[in-house]
A = this chain, B = another copy of it.
Amino acid sequence: MSEAYSKAETLALRRKHIGPSCKVFFAKDPLKIVRAQGQYMFDENGEKYLDCINNVAHVGHSHPDVIKAAVKQMELLNTNSRFLHDNLVQYAKRLTDTMPEKLSVCYFVNSGSEANDLALRLARHFSGHQDVITLDNAYHGHVTSLIDISPYKFNQLGKESKKEFVHVAPSPDTYRGKYREDHLDPAGAYAGEVKKIIEETQKNGRKIAAFIAESMQSCGGQVIPPAGYFQQVAEYVHEAGGVFIADEVQVGFGRVGKHFWAFQLQGEDFVPDIVTMGKPIGNGHPMSCVVTTREIAEAFGASGLEYFNTFGGNPVSCAIGLAVLDVIEKEDLQGNATQVGNYLIELLNEQKRKHPLVGDIRGVGLFVGVDLVKDIQKRTPATAEALHLVYKLKERHILLSADGPHRNILKFKPPMSFTQEDAKFVVDQIDALLTGTHTNEGNLQSDCLGESVSHINGNACRQENGFYTDNHVVPCKRIRT
């Protein structure tokens, strides 16, 4: 395929015309990707890369069924939702059919950020309160209102950047959080922290509108909350007049395998008041959704304030959304997520037994984190090593990223068409790279990475979605052995 520009020209034009705040992946030697299929991406020279990170291309890159549905609808009509259209209501029905009964009303919007912002508006109208409890390390989106409730972002702006209406609860991380796997009741202990926040907040005359959390923390470090945590939090939040918002933007649509939604891992007795979705919903098409209860929707409607979203719920987006649901079913991608995910976790656990750098493996379905540590007892985050590994894997044509507050957690969230062979391939490569390091007792955080480590612990390290792209980081030229 002939490209309009050489890679160098593309990069030069990008530097000229694209805001520098959006970093490219592998800044030192970025990838120019021109084609993708299933779980594979291809660069301008036809080189093939295994994609372990693009959860947006949920049912696989360039899926023909999704394209077909898009084209068919584009040729007929693409307009706003002030006109009646079957796609809108069919899609709303199909989506809500995947949820507990009381979650029955949809608002279609264009991005996870728009969804979470609207969720906050709904919560505030319903409760009449302002304050929000969020989890430490959480990231909920890029618009102003969400930067405010995302410690992952506002912590970078200095301590005074936390707004007074925002309250940060500890992340329910049983590996490196306040209460760990040896605690008798980590769910209760972490929920108790939320209760304490509510009580303190109320003492100060403030009122809770919402508790918001990803059903599993993604950028926050692939954290899977202990079962029962959400139920108890919801109870405390409801008592305070607030609502529970489950952010499924990264983790919904069957990624966890045995359930369609990650919040369902908590148990059947848990039902959030608002669920937000995004990324995988349209396999890359810009769309998203907020689902809530009739009661909350009516309260918002009763304010008299119209909510209109120009593109949200247009017939093309809905046709694409329906096609994605069809493919998940038809190809049994939930079954695949369970099967391949279990296999991947099994292989990674072997790595854990083998390499002291691997501190923890946690995951469910095709959402898996590998927590790298410098000291297995102290669980010291192996940030530089994670970055280094990500760069070395790229050389081996595997796309993986590191995330979490310390950027030491390898994050798997591949297209759902990921296979056992893919899992085997990537773990074999990790094994080879890790074997190269510790067999000679070399320390990865040594001279060759020393320069970058000082940056890694600084501000520049805290990049979104695990794409560590600070230009100052010079990847180690060879693994020190």
Contacts and interface: CB of A to CB of B under 8 A. Distances in A.
Interface of A: 3-5, 7, 10-11, 13-14, 16-25, 30-36, 41, 54, 56-57, 61-62, 67, 70-71, 74-86, 88-90, 92-93, 96, 104-114, 117-118, 120-121, 142-145, 147, 153, 156-157, 278-279, 283-287, 290, 292, 297-298, 300-301, 303-314, 316-317, 459-460, 462-465, 467, 469
Contacts of A92: 13-14, 17-18
Contact of A79 (B41, B75, B82, B144): B41
Contacts of A75: 62, 67
Given A22-B313, A31-B84, 7 more contacts: A5-B89, A14-B84, A18-B105, A23-B82, A62-B77, A143-B145, A304-B460
B19 A105 contact: yes
A77 B33 contact: yes
B4 A76 contact: no
A86 B75 CA distance: 26
A110 B110 contact: yes
Interface-centre pick from A7, A36, A74, A85 (highest chain B CB count, 10 A):
A74
Contact of A22 (B14, B25, B279, B306): B306
Nearest to A111: B110
B89 A10 contact: yes
Contacts of A112: 310
A309 B156 contact: no
Interface-centre pick from A25, A57, A83, A304 (highest chain B CB count, 10 A):
A83
Contact of A18 (B88, B145, B153): B88
Contacts of A106: 17-19
Given A19-B106, A79-B41, A84 B30 contact: yes
Contacts of A313: 18, 22
A19 B79 contact: no
Given A84-B32, A145-B143, A316-B284, A22 B89 contact: no
B279 A310 contact: yes
B307 A85 contact: no
B144 A144 contact: yes
Contacts of A81: 18, 22, 24
21 contacts: A5-B89, A13-B93, A16-B104, A17-B104, A20-B301, A21-B300, A22-B81, A22-B309, A25-B82, A30-B83, A35-B77, A41-B77, A41-B79, A114-B143, A118-B142, A118-B143, A120-B144, A153-B305, A157-B305, A279-B310, A286-B314
B22 A307 contact: yes
Nearest to A320: B74
Contacts of A117: 143-144
Nearest to A465: B308
A110 B78 contact: no
B297 A20 contact: yes
A143 B4 CA distance: 37
Given A16-B104, A286-B110, A143 B143 contact: yes
A131 B292 CA distance: 34
A89 B19 CA distance: 11
Contacts of A71: 67, 70-71, 74
B78 A21 contact: no
B21 A307 contact: yes
Nearest to A7: B84
Contacts of A110: 110-111, 114, 286, 311
A300 B22 CA distance: 11
Contacts of A22: 81-82, 107, 306-309, 313
Contact of A308 (B36, B85, B142, B297): B142
A467 B17 contact: no
B79 A56 contact: yes
A439 B75 CA distance: 45
Contact of A33 (B11, B74, B79, B316): B79
B467 A34 contact: no
Contacts of A308: 22-23, 142, 464-465, 467
Contacts of A153: 305
Given A21-B305, A76-B35, A90 B143 contact: no
A242 to B, nearest CB: 17
